[in-house]
Copies of this chain bind each other. A is one copy, B any other.
């Protein structure tokens, strides 16, 4: 089909017309006005071209000095910094997120910081765990895994974007070319980012196919892509349904795929904590649930507390905050549909609406009223799967357990989550219960928190933004936190009796 007027795609170092099988437009989620630009839905030919270029790029990248990759990442970070206002404006239009502080003061600095940290890690070798057995002449090291496809999510247009976010930075810094799949709900933002990435790559003299970007392709081509033998690995952040399809395709051919799919992030509030600081906790929880209109992977979607007056007053407090808070914008129509659908699943499974669950009165874009639900422990035990449905957006479910024994039973049904949090009294009166709760939560969550909401995933070397299935595909890996996140994009390479001058430089330096 004719692609005249469609936005170009970034393949092999050049912006060029797509071989399109269709097109789509962006949409302002606040006004539901379409963008003027048509973006192409790529045919397999585009994906194939990107793979070919990535293979060539990878061949060159394996020989590059570490500091060259670092220089690229730094120069990209600086380019983004200098274009912050421009990019944050575009992202605000496409996502409904506030230009300031969310995009300009929070997400862009985080994105820039990640790229700079990745640059530093690219120059380091220790995270590759080089291991020398001098006596047996057996050496090993984690080496770049090969061309990596990054599927970015809708909810962090900069910090998790396939062309600029955490997976991008980690894969690149580990030495791999990246083929980014832009998220179709913020294509203009992706384009601006990719322009900076391409210029920085060119300035740093990186091979042409180091960074590439497609806007969209058919689902069947996505499955074909993740099975392609030319590909080293796949990173995906998004919905469980899409993630599970990609996982099945990749698993069938043994392709490493790192997924971040869904999480309801349980928070357990023990009775002593409520006695001590119920109002404070209600504040923290309400803010955490509504932050970014609840569109965080770590949004607390399940609050567990014990039956009683204090919990009733906590619910009342949160309800008031939900009522007082403005109703935020949801990222796109699908997010709204999905939120409404998920709340319906929860309600059908027995949850009661405490507040919300209706179309907001004043909002004409994608939005749904801040929604607070409650259910009993008994209801949960009857329908645990349904009541653990992730309602991505400004909604949460309070689960009121009859007593501690029932609370423990509820937790024993919890699936894998990114985070789990326990609020307990400062004076120690909850400590016995804490021990039981923490023991139940620990194997079910990647990050265990005390007295703190889980939203806000610090880019710390100690971070685990990961967790057991179905939150992710493998509990060994994290997608945030450098250098740990980079290890995902490596394979273990052993050299046995290989002549010293033929060893890769990292090992050669250590052996000689």
Contacts and interface: CB of A to CB of B under 8 A. Distances in A.
A198 interface: no
Given A438-B502, A458-B136, A497-B451, A254 B468 contact: yes
Interface in A135-161: 136, 138-140, 142-143, 145-146
Interface in A439-493: 439, 442-443, 446-452, 454, 458, 460-464, 466, 468-470, 472-478, 481, 484, 487-488, 490-493
A24 interface: no
Given A446-B494, A492-B476, A460 B254 contact: no
Nearest to A446: B494
A466 B133 CA distance: 17
A498 B434 CA distance: 11
B494 A138 contact: no
Contacts of A256: 474-476
Nearest to A261: B254
Contact of A494 (B146, B463, B473, B499): B463
A416 interface: yes
A491 B443 contact: yes
Interface in A342-371: none
Contacts of A129: 484
Interface string A402-431: 000000000000001001000000000000
A33 interface: no
A457 to B, nearest CB: 9
A493 B416 CA distance: 12
B449 A496 contact: yes
Contacts of A333: none
Contact of A247 (B145, B251, B447, B497): B251
A139 B462 contact: yes
> How often does this chain occur in the complex, in copies?
2
A338 interface: no
Contacts of A470: 254
A489 B140 CA distance: 20
Given A446-B492, A447-B494, A490-B476, A462 B131 contact: yes
A495 interface: yes
B131 A493 contact: no
A491 B476 contact: yes
A428 to B, nearest CB: 10
Nearest to A488: B476
Contact of A478 (B136, B145, B492, B497): B492
28 contacts: A129-B484, A131-B461, A131-B462, A132-B462, A133-B458, A133-B460, A133-B461, A136-B458, A139-B462, A140-B481, A247-B251, A247-B254, A248-B251, A251-B251, A254-B416, A256-B475, A419-B496, A434-B502, A443-B491, A446-B491, A447-B494, A462-B494, A463-B496, A464-B493, A468-B491, A475-B491, A476-B487, A484-B492
What are the 10 A-B residue pairs with the smallest beta carbon separation, nearest first? Answer: A254-B469, A464-B494, A475-B491, A133-B462, A138-B462, A251-B251, A447-B494, A133-B460, A452-B497, A449-B496
Interface of A: 59, 129, 131-133, 136, 138-140, 142-143, 145-146, 232, 247-248, 251-256, 416, 419, 434, 438-439, 442-443, 446-452, 454, 458, 460-464, 466, 468-470, 472-478, 481, 484, 487-488, 490-499, 502
